[in-house]
Structure 1
């Protein structure tokens, strides 16, 4: 972890990292990363079920109208406002020198998995869940398309994990955190791990990590209890 980052955190009792977030697959990645990195942070709940991500105040932070958003107040000039969960994970890892190899093949493998998640597994899971749960009318073609794609991408990940303990190799990295977010919310898309034993083994190992459990608990506490 950089010395300047430690000094900045020590000089101000309040957390200098703020996350606008909710209990969503992408949001939980950030709280897990922050817990794994041991950084102080504050969460600001954005209830996406009530459409709070579409308010003017939130859109001023992220015109794309999605959580999470990281606000880093440790910088000398002005706060950094950063969106997109993968970008936030990379930023935090590079800022602290943890959870991301410095170079070489190991670093490339992490980015390979981050891009696979962002372009393949994440949209397949999200779209499959949407058409199954929220489409005004049944959309058989869309459901079949994305259900097939979520199973295919999960199979690809299972093949990767058949020969590695973690998704990018021998070490736990931000790539594992990225994939874990949607696997944590796999019920939304109706996904089972019954046919992907390597993913199931990996998931249980990640879910057992104390920092992961703390990160999940932090975002789940934002959900109103009706």
Structure 2
């Protein structure tokens, strides 16, 4: 059975969505970020970078496989199952293009924005416990504007890409799972900042609804929802 070493994070939810969509059996091995377990030697032996998620597939045809970095894990699972990533041609590279866009732009920008926005109203119900524990030490206007403006630009990029498409790269792919995990987690905050954001970005809003109503995608998000006691579940 596949083992997923992780905590409840956006990057990890990409992977649980994919595992659920592919109907693969897996177990979650909690790496408690509050206890800094990602820096323990046992986990560093799996991922020397000390970041979650990481995955071990003990039953791969050529022997046990260890994969870290959420994007690499998604590609591995897609190639293992033959699902959600075209095998070749322009369609494959289109899906990879948008996966890398999420990895290089959406994740870093949304993550940095949340880090600084949390300090503005740390008691907001939108601020989860881990974000509250790791947020910026004060309110800083420059990063709020820098990351806020760039986040809105990225929303507009996705809005344009989804024009005439149901999914980011045409067919449903790992690019959608990766991007949705981040957009879903921050969209309520965007609505608070800009109440008409759904009206201004109808393609994004419809795409998010499309993903949210997929039972396997929803299950993947729920497995690593904020507040889920992963240590109790895995005991």
Q: Which of the five TM-score ranges fits, normalised by the shorter chain?
A: 0.7 to 0.9
CA distance in 2, matches of 1:77, 1:116: 31
The C-alpha deviation readout for 1:36-91, integer Å capped at 9, x for no partner, is: 11111111112223322222222221122211101010135642211111110011
CA–CA separation in structure 1 for the residues paired with 2:62 and 2:178: 30
- Secondary structure at 2:67 match in 1: strand
- Whole-angstrom distance in 1 between the partners of 2:229 and 2:77: 22
SS in 2 for 1:123: helix
Offset, 1:224:
7.0
Larger deviation, residues 50-59 vs 39-48: 50-59
Which residue of 16, 20, 24 corresponds with 1:39? 24
Distance across 1 between alignment mates of 2:65 and 2:21: 21
Provide the C-alpha distance between the structure 2 equivalents of 1:103 and 1:145, rounded to a whole number of angstroms: 38
Q: TM-score, normalised on structure 2?
A: 0.82
Provide the C-alpha distance between the structure 2 equivalents of 1:73 and 1:146, rounded to a whole number of angstroms: 40
In the alignment, the residues of structure 1 paired with residue 230 and residue 140 of structure 2 have an alpha-carbon distance, to the nearest angstrom, of 30
Alignment partner, residue 122 of structure 2: none
Q: How big is each residue's C-alpha offset from its partner over 1:95-127, in whole Å with a ceiling of 9 and x where there is no partner? A: 111111111121111011011111111111011
**Partner of residue 167, structure 2:** 166
Structure 2 partner of 1:157 = 158
- Any gaps of 5 or more consecutive residues in structure 1? 1-14
Alpha carbons of 1:223 and 1:144: their partners in 2 closer, same or farther (altered >3 Å)? Answer: farther
Distance 1:76 1:106 in 2: 27
Deviation at 1:132, TM superposition (A): 2.1
* 1:25–1:184 CA contact under 8 A, matched in 2: no
Deviation per residue, 1:119-158 (Å, 9 max, x gap): 1111110111112221113222112111111110111001
Asked whether 1:176 is paired with 2:180, we answer: no
Structure-1-length-normalised TM-score:
0.86
Question: Which residue in 2 is equivalent to 1:203?
Answer: 208
User: 1:49 — aligned with what?
Assistant: 34
Question: Conserved in 1, the CA contact under 8 Å of 2:211 and 2:217?
Answer: yes
- Count of equivalent residues: 208
Equivalent-residue separation in structure 2 for 1:49 and 1:163 (angstroms): 43
SS of equivalent to 1:191: helix
5+ residue gaps, structure 2: 119-134, 192-196
Give the Cα separation in 2 of the matches to 1:111 and 1:75.
23
Residue matched to 2:93: 108
